Structure 1
Amino acid sequence: MRRIYPDIQDDPPIEQAYAYPPDRPWLRVNMVASADGASWMNGLSGGLSSKGDRRIFGVLRGLADVVVAGAATVRAEGYGPARPRESWRPLREGRPETPPVAVVSRSLDLDLDGPLFSEAISRTIVVTCASAPADRLAAAKSVADVVVAGEEAVDMEAAVRGLHERGLTRVLCEGGPRLNAQLAAAGLLDELCLSISPLLLGGGAARILNGEAALVGLALSQVLEEDGVLFCRYTREPNHD
Structure 2
Amino acid sequence: MSLDGKIATRTNESRLSSQRDLRRVHMIRSQVDGIMVGLRTMLCDDPKLRVKYFHDNHPARIVVDSKARTPLDSYIVKTASSTLTLIAVTTKAPQRRVKQLQKAGVKILVCGNGPLVSLPVLMRRLRKLGIQRVLLEGGGTLNWGMLSQKLVDQVSVAISPRILGGEHAVTLVEGDGALRIEDAIHLRLLGMKRYGDELVLNYRVLS
Q: TM-score, normalised to structure 1's length?
A: 0.77
- Structure 1 letter corresponding to 2:95: A
- Alignment match of 2:175 (pick from 197, 211, 215): 211
The worse-fitting range, judged by mean Cα deviation, of 108-117 and 148-157 is 108-117
> Matches of residues 230-241 of structure 1 in structure 2 within 5 Å?
230-237=199-206, 240=207
1:145 is the counterpart of 2:107: yes
Q: Determine the structure 1 residue equivalent to 2:54.
A: 87
SS at match of 1:87: coil
1:66 is the counterpart of 2:34: yes
Gaps of 5+ in 2: 179-183
Name the CA shift for 1:86/1:229 in 2 (closer, same or farther; >3 Å).
closer
Name the CA shift for 1:188/1:228 in 2 (closer, same or farther; >3 Å).
same
- Alignment match of 2:158 (pick from 149, 173, 195): 195
**Identity across matched positions, percent:** 26
Q: TM-score, normalised to structure 2's length?
A: 0.89
- Which of 1 and 2 has higher RCO (CA within 8 Å, sep 6+)? 1
SS at match of 1:161: helix
- Alignment match of 1:116 (pick from 54, 64, 76): 76
SS at match of 2:21: helix
What is the total number of aligned residue pairs between the two structures?
Answer: 197
Structure 1 runs of 4+ with >4 Å offset: none
Do the aligned partners of 1:81 and 1:124 also contact (CA within 8 Å) in 2?
no
CA apart distance, 1:135: 1.1
- Alignment match of 2:7 (pick from 19, 25, 39): 39
- Structure 1 letter corresponding to 2:41: T
Gaps of 5+ in 1: 1-32, 90-96
CA apart distance, 1:100: 1.5
Deviations 1:215-241 (A, max 9, x none): 32100101011121001111112xx3x
